A and B are shown apart, each in its own frame.
Chain A
Amino acid sequence: MKRRVSAFLVLPLLLLLVFTAANVYAVTEVGTPRRETLIVETQTPTDVPGQFNSYMQGTQMGFGIHQLMSAMMWEMDTVKGEQFGEVAAGFPESNEDFTEHIVRIREGIRWSDGEELNADDVVFTFNMIMDNPGIGASAYYNTVFESVEKVDDYTVRIKTRESFPRLALRFGVTIWGNDLRIVPEHIYSKVDDVTTFKDSNPVVAGPYTVHSYDPLGKWVLYERREDWQYSTVGVVTGKMPQAKYVLFKYVGDDTTRQMAMVNNEVDILCEVTPEMVEVMTAMNPNIACWYKDFPYATSDDPCSKGIAFQMAKEPFDNPDFRWGIALAMNFDEISLNIFDGVGRASALPILTATSAMQELYYIPLLPWLEEFELDLGDGTTFKPFDPDYAYRMAEILRAQGYDVPTEHDELIDMFGIGCWKYAPDVAEKLFIKAGLEKRTDGWYFKGEPFTINMTYLADTEAQAGRGLIAAYDQLVKFGFNCNLASESSATWDSNAATGNFEIAGYWPTGGITRDLYSQISGWDADLIVPLGERGSGQGSRWRNEEATRIIHELAKVSPDSDESYELGMEFMKVAIKDLPFIGFHSGVKFVPTNSTYWTNYPSAENPYNGPWWWWSCFKYITTEITPVQ
């Protein structure tokens, strides 16, 4: 009996010991100790394995290349929405008309082979891009730059052909990354053709180098530089990236991603749906998103989602029609249909309500928005802005059992400053003003039955797709005859350029900088080409002379000036009156992390950075993520 009892006690202890040992000494599939390896998901396998030259066509920068190795001139503090110098020591010193710029180079950065990074590398990179037509950005660089030359080892003089006030904004990181990445002159100058040089064993200035990679394109293993102190991150922050290895790998379809996360086979996923978050957090308590509990997601992704119009077609070219569409839809229902009410309302066209932009533009615009009126064409007017959305949505969600804050500021941060009202009777008046006719069997335009064709991108971008489907439901409920179709990415991008859509889930939005120029320059009406042709402006083809004038004026002023901000505000008022895009929410991202092996990921409790694993700023996050003891 005693022996049996002992066996019963010993057996579980042995199993526990074996399990603990297995956990401590676990190795990854690529043979590195699990406890020293941070495993990050990439959204797709790379089509060009072993290709780390960012100037070769097709290089998949998001596969850890720009997150861990690239040297940017200016990087982004995603929390403040402000740039800082990475390779550059501060911002450009420009002359009065912004045609000559002095850029100082940060001292102390070394390439991973021990060579110093200095002005020679910066000058060489600019000239390499301009001298090689095979580099995608070459033609553009030649239109912008007259010359880039070395003044001394740590100073570069850049001359532009015309006034160029936005050097750091355009050639530094503002959101995802940037196409200017400084390369080692002592390596690239010896290459015959930089556009076909794969650079499979790269010499880098970032804190990690390539250890090994999968020739089939599913993973790349990076190893921390032994001399990390001399890397860009080491020199800028003085902090060591904690993980010795970072494994970027493609995990698979949604089912496999969930299973891999639950089994602790991956530490960071890119983006999932709220349903997936609920399943994963229920099965593994170490999994969390930006918020530990509801609403889980961060609303600070700079691309708001909503509906875009093809304004080269009737009646979509009519602002009254577009305003009618906005007021025909119940935003509360749309919000609940997309992500169960999660997300910050981002109603204004083009501009995304990230935390920074909400403070900079949305809140200052609130008094104007509350007084803004629409002319309904029958002698009456209507104020379309609804500032009560946050309180109403909080109430709905509380009734569903969610713990939602009550403080005004917290509610505004969570749900935004407001949305467009649901007013189907007003919408009806606006449609009639826009030339539509309501008959007993439905709506007519120019004597013909009126149908709206609505499209969205299949499979990816759940927020945009669900939003468009929710809009379809609302417009059908209102009484419109609508067709709904999903498109593969192959046709989606092509239709965006040629304008082959009526209402679609495109997101011509994005940006988190105070200066709006880069976000709005594509809306310049001078860039519009006829339907069916591919132009360089927005596929929506919004023609507004006032907006175009502001864009042209803005191009000439310093991005840091008050004038830039005032012009941005002026542009927003024009855009709101004309409503070329109806925003639903800012980019809502559910990006889960697993704290089994690593902890201290950026979160709502500790927002030292955004959860943007696929952005180049990830290298600054690696210094903060710490191993679980």
Chain B
Amino acid sequence: MSKGVKQLKFSKYLGLRILTWALTIWIGVTFIFFVPRMFPSDPVENMIGRIQSRSGQMDPVEMEALRKTLRVQFGLEGSLMEQYLSFLKKGLLQFDFGPSLMSFPTPVGDIIKTYLPYTLGLMLVTTVMAWLIGNFIGLQAGFRKHRLSSKILEAVAICIYPVPYFIVALILQIVFAFILNWFPLQSTIVTMGGFGMFIRSLIRASILPAISLLLLGTGWWIISMKSLSGTVAEEDFVLYARYRGLPETRIGRSYVLRNSIITQVTALAMSLGGVFSGSIMTEIIFGYPGVGTLIQKAILQSDYNMILGCITISIVAISTATLIVDLIYPLIDPRIRYS
């Protein structure tokens, strides 16, 4: 195949993939724009309800006046289509989602900017660490499956993986925070007492959530890698390498790992795309700040703008991660060509 034909095929493939990427994002955000507005809830009534529930009865004249003021302030005037077009223009193209209704008038973008670094810091580190550790142990368990250490590691992974996340998290919290008092029960991050104090409090607050995510995340990678490498280890080319007398480490690294890791790279990319939505369980149990609880609160308080902001970022992240994986796949797997 000539170079020109190859380039043409690649350009066509790239164009189609980018079109799919854009279409996926548009369908996703359109869906998430309309669905919350179909809920039988109303942010203005929620705000009035909150005021009433804490301060008793409200004067009827006062309630009506407040209702009108809030509708104007929250930008809920105008037709649904007008609001949608405004969102497409501002939200999707400029990432300006307007003010948060629950933290009015703070812009949604500012709030996400505050919480996203914590989510990304915790989730990226634990996802990558779990991937590295899990794949390393999984490779040992699959490639050298008759060793005792492999069997033990595999057994541990099989035991931990099915345990529901909140049980693992609660056990960690009860043992290390409640009984031993080594860590705080709820994450308290001190951001106003100097950089040293911030880092200390951040590390202290992150250890238990990170361990809980690592424990379960690693289990999955061990099991999947063990299965993949076990299959690859039985392939003819591995047997051939053994007959050639190649050292076991080289067979493991160059033959088994390279062939097994391809699927894992795809899965890693998908997991990395997913970190933008945070881990709601971790955030609730350990009180760790993050985007997960932000989305939960936004749903409960009908904060349409916040829901749109968080989910749009998540949709864009996952779609982009998928796009990148599709584009780099041929680089890591020579059997795949753009076609």
Contacts and interface: CB of A to CB of B under 8 A. Distances in A.
Nearest to A493: B49
A523 to B, nearest CB: 9
B56 A175 contact: yes
A62 interface: yes
B104 A31 contact: no
Q: How large is the interface on B (under 10, 10 to 19, 20 to 34, 35 or more residues)?
A: 35 or more
A195 B99 CA distance: 14
B57 A510 contact: yes
A510 B54 CA distance: 10
B102 A58 contact: yes
A133 interface: yes
Nearest to B197: A31
Interface in A475-527: 488-497, 500, 508, 510-511, 518-519, 521-522, 524, 527
Is chain B's interface secondary structure helix, strand, loop, or mixed overall? helix
A56 B181 CA distance: 39
A156 interface: no
Contacts of B78: none
A219 B188 CA distance: 8
A320 B122 CA distance: 60
A213 interface: yes
Contact of A212 (B55, B65, B192, B285): B192
A218 interface: yes
B104 to A, nearest CB: 4
Interface stretch (A245-253, A417-425, A436-444): A245-253
A524 B60 contact: yes
B327 interface: no
A462 B56 CA distance: 18
Contact of B302 (A134, A490, A527): A490
Given A48-B106, A263-B181, A492-B49, A138 B301 contact: no
A511 B189 contact: no
A57 interface: yes
A35 to B, nearest CB: 18
B268 interface: no
B167 to A, nearest CB: 12
Interface stretch (B138-146, B157-165, B172-180): B172-180
Contacts of A315: none
Contact of B56 (A47, A138, A511, A534): A511
A265 B188 CA distance: 12
Q: How large is the interface on A (under 10, 10 to 19, 20 to 34, 35 or more residues)?
A: 35 or more
Contacts of A219: 188
A629 interface: no
A261 to B, nearest CB: 10
B65 A143 contact: yes
Contact of B45 (A57, A195, A214, A496): A496
A491 B57 contact: no
B112 interface: no
A489 B287 contact: no
Interface centre among A57, A260, A500 (most CB of B within 10 A): A57
B83 interface: no
Contacts of A30: 188, 190, 193
B300 interface: yes
Contacts of B301: 489-490
A319 interface: no
Given A29-B188, A490-B41, A511 B60 contact: no
Interface stretch (B26-34, B68-76, B226-234, B239-247): B68-76
16 contacts: A29-B201, A136-B69, A138-B69, A177-B54, A196-B105, A252-B186, A256-B185, A260-B186, A488-B41, A494-B46, A497-B49, A510-B57, A519-B57, A521-B59, A522-B58, A536-B60
Ordered nearest first, which 9 A-B pairs have the shortest CB separation? A493-B49, A139-B65, A510-B56, A490-B41, A536-B60, A140-B62, A29-B188, A47-B103, A536-B64
Interface of B: 39-42, 45-46, 48-50, 54-70, 73, 100, 102-106, 114-115, 118, 170, 173-174, 177-178, 181, 184-186, 188-193, 197, 201, 284-285, 287, 289, 297, 299-302
Given A137-B65, A175-B55, 17 more contacts: A47-B103, A48-B106, A58-B104, A138-B69, A139-B66, A177-B54, A213-B192, A251-B185, A252-B287, A262-B178, A263-B185, A303-B56, A492-B49, A510-B57, A522-B58, A524-B60, A536-B60
